[in-house]
Structure 1
């Protein structure tokens, strides 16, 4: 009987000790899995930040390209002292334009597409093209030309 009591006591202590070991081992096992989850969360957050930054930079490049294209279309080109001058430009589509070109005393209307330049009409009477008033680009161009002329006069020859 004593032997039976001792076996029961030993087995009861073994059963009670086993969950504590299991809890410790579960804690040990769960700690690396939590750190792996935290690392995976950090990596995915960094990846998301990288992708968003890349999209922002690409969007900025497209925005600047659009702004440069708009500015180039609005820059006045008349007033040049060359034999061939561009008097006016009218955008028809994303890549198509009409151009009014003066060659000597003749004015020619040209159609400009990405692959071709087609003369559409030779004008019998020249058209007077006036500069738009209050145009920021032309005011800047006038100030720049004036500054360049004064700096050229100041330099000794």
Structure 2
């Protein structure tokens, strides 16, 4: 993890070094076909560096958000279900009480207070989706056929 952070911090420096343009005082000599290819390569490398930086920062933000301590949290989201593009049901737990909320743009409504708490599914045993399981079976059959 430490190496990744150093690489992430050095990425902008490397990108700027790759995009560095010749000093203004130095004469610019135009060459035939390599000038255009060099500019195209420089543009593509710069674009790839920026895209890689965006993905690396998004990954880092997700990791930091997951590792953040949850001390003092009294409200916990048990589950959520999208009903439409902007509407959803959210089950939250406040202390010992669970409340089903309807969330839509500009409005949150308490729909039901659970008399008996709903037990969330165990997250340690994650079910394999049917598509992924079927794909693994097909890939396994392909490997057997090749042997």
TM-score normalised to the size of structure 1? 0.39
Q: Of the two, which has the highest radius of gyration?
A: 1
More helix by share: 1
TM-score normalised to the size of structure 2? 0.41
